[in-house]
Every structure is written in structure tokens, then in C-alpha cells.
Amino acid sequence: IVSMQDRLEDEEVMPLCKAAGYTLVPIDTHFTDVSKLSHGSLRDYATSILADLAATKNDALCKAFCTPSGSLSKAMFPAFSASKLLLENACYFPGMTLTVSSNPMEQIDQTSNDLVKEMPSLKALGKDLEQQEAAVQKQLASVRKEAEKVKGGEDRVEEIIAAKMRDMNCVASVGAIKIPEHCIVNSRAHMSKYCKEKNLIGDYDGAFFRNLPSQQEFKKVHSLSVDEKWQMLLLSGVAAHVPLEPALNPQGDTSYTNYVAEQMEKGALAVCGVTKDFTYGANVPCTSVLVDKDFITNHSANTLRQFIGRVARTGLAPYGVAQFQDDSFLPKMCGKADEQEAACMQATAEALLARPPGEQE
């Protein structure tokens, strides 16, 4: 309803309204008595807008009203763009976003090149971590040696070591992984660098901002049997969940896919590419779903509804956004009953039953 009202106020539509003598009763005026607000009254209000427009018999006005605005200034979300999701448009999709396509690995691979260019090599990060760990161990060994020399302190070695470390303002652990924070998708630094709408950043709850991976997370990811690019993306919060893809599950090793599934259940990823295999039964804290045109064309209305149902799961995510690349899904979703899957199952059952009894066994 808000979009309808905004469209009537657009500069290319408003002159046509005046010429046709059409005036809209604003929603705030129509519902002065808020006790009358309900699903039914809102539907009636929306229908009355369309009926009054049709009553003008002004084709130019009706066509302009039904034509999507080309201006993005009033749009709640940017135009569909899988390639911009990891950088410029990431700030519009906080939380965890599922990108749906027939080939998630290829889609993520093609859209992540600019992000990967910003990342340091895992080999360099691993070497730096090893050097930090070695330096910490060397320092601890030195402090322990001194602590063991303290007279009467044989029973208090660990306590003495802790005191000496505090006096030296040192910690017995390695520092943060040296990954540029702007490479972590949906981190505060990432949004600050790539988001054009800077005011959006201040509107988000702090829980939506992602942090740098810990040492343990780095070691775990670095041990996964996938290409370094996919390890780097995983550290950035980007992954693909494709259990049957050999490149992500080499020689039947599903450690990468299992780890991605664990991270999804915790809502620890920013973006994850999935396909139809993921829909049924998935219960993850997902806030956004983006579905590309190829997937819309080749899948049934029921499958598309399943993906809409992945967002804003009760008790898991506070809100949900489902964005489709174009409106070609509307006839499937809102038109005649789509029995494609039922027809397929029926045809398969009939074919099986038509076999000779011996073959059926």
C-alpha cells in the first residue's frame, strides 16, 4: 500500500492524476480510527485505490501507475544484483543471506573475485600465526624458567608465571588474525567502506555486525580439504552449500559441507549459495533470500514458496526479505494452481506400475 501511494506521488504519475481528476485518500486519513485496522480493511483499502483508478478510464494513468518506477531513491532495496551482494549491497542485507541458483558454486565463484582480491594469502596468515605462537611459547618458557628459580615457590610456579606476565603486560595467547576487517562481509569496517548509505550503519543492532575469525576458526577452516579460495571466502563469511559438488567434497570428504552447515545453523555466515536440495526441512536463522531468474524459470511454485519460507523462521530471525530477480515468478505463485511436482510424481508412479511384475521387484 505504501508503494502504491508513493507511486502516485512520483513526478511522472502525479500530473496524470491531476489531469484525470484522481485524488487519493491517504492511508493515515482513511484509518484515523486505528481500531478499524485489520487484514481485511487493508485489503479493501488497496482494492478501492485500484477501483478508483480504473474508474478514471484513463489508460495513460493506469499504465504509468502499474509500471515500476525507474528511480531507486524511494526503493527499500537496491535492484537485484548477485555480483554486488558481497560489497556495495551487503549493507542492505544484514544477518545471513541465502543466494539461490541452479549452480551455487559457480555463482559465488563469479561474484566473489573482487572480495578475494582484498584478502591476504592463507599461507602468509598461517605463517604469521605460527610465528606469533612460537614467540609466545618462547616468552612463556623464559618466564617459567625464572619462576622455577624463585625460592620457596615450587608449589606456586603457575601463580608466579601469571603475576610476572601481568607485570610485563603480556598475554599467554596469540593476537588477532591479521585479516583486514573490511574483508569480513557485514563487519562494521566492511559496511563503512562499501555502503553508500552511511546512515544505514547506525540503524543496525550491534548483533548484526560480524567480527574477525578467531585463531581456532582460522585453523579449522585452513584444515578443510577445499581450494584456498573457498577457505578464504569462508573466513570472510561466504560459502556454498552443495553436498554433491565434487570440488567442495573431494573424494567424498564432506568436511567443508559439514562445517558450512554448522555455521549456517549458528547464523555465523553472511552469504551462502544454495540450491533446491537445501529447501525442505532447513531451519536456519536466515534473514534474506535472493533467487535468480534461471532458478525461477526452471522450478515450481512450491519450491519457490519453500525458499520464501526459509526467511524469518519463528524464534530464529527477527525479520525476512525474499528478493526475486524479476517478477516472472508471479504467474506461478499467484496464478493457476501449479501441479508440476504432483504430475511428475504421478507420471513416475504410473510408469513403475506399468512395468512387468518381475521388473517392479
CATH 3.40.50, domain 82-117+180-334, yes or no? yes
- Segment 214-233, tens digit of pLDDT: 888 988 998 999 999 999 99
> pLDDT at position 301, please?
83
- Place 245 in a pLDDT band, splitting at 50, 70 and 90: very high
> pLDDT at position 359, please?
66
Average pLDDT over residues 128-145: 73
Average pLDDT over residues 278-289: 79
- The ranges assigned to domains in the chain are 2-66, 82-117+180-334, 122-167
> pLDDT at position 304, please?
86
> pLDDT at position 152, please?
65
- Computed from CA positions of residues 19, 49, 323, 196, in that sequence, does the dihedral angle turn out positive or negative? positive
Position 361 pLDDT exceeds 60: no
DSSP 165-218: HHHTT--SS-------GGGSTTSHHHHHHH-S-HHHHHHS-GGGS--PPPHHHH
- What CA–CA distances, in Å, run from 160 to 134, 147, 149? 21, 6, 11
> pLDDT at position 56, please?
93
d(CA 232, CA 218): 9
CB-based contact 217:231 (threshold 8 Å): no
How much is the mean pLDDT over the chain? 83
Q: Which residue has the cell 541458483?
A: 101
Helical spans, DSSP H, in 237-339? 255-266, 293-298, 301-308, 330-334
Residue 274: its H or E element = strand 271-274
Of 337 and 99, which is predicted with more confidence? 99
- Place 72 in a pLDDT band, splitting at 50, 70 and 90: low
Of 99 and 178, which is predicted with more confidence? 99
CB-based contact 237:269 (threshold 8 Å): yes
d(CA 275, CA 98): 9
Residue 105: its H or E element = helix 104-111
Position 174 pLDDT exceeds 90: no
Write down how long the chain is: 361
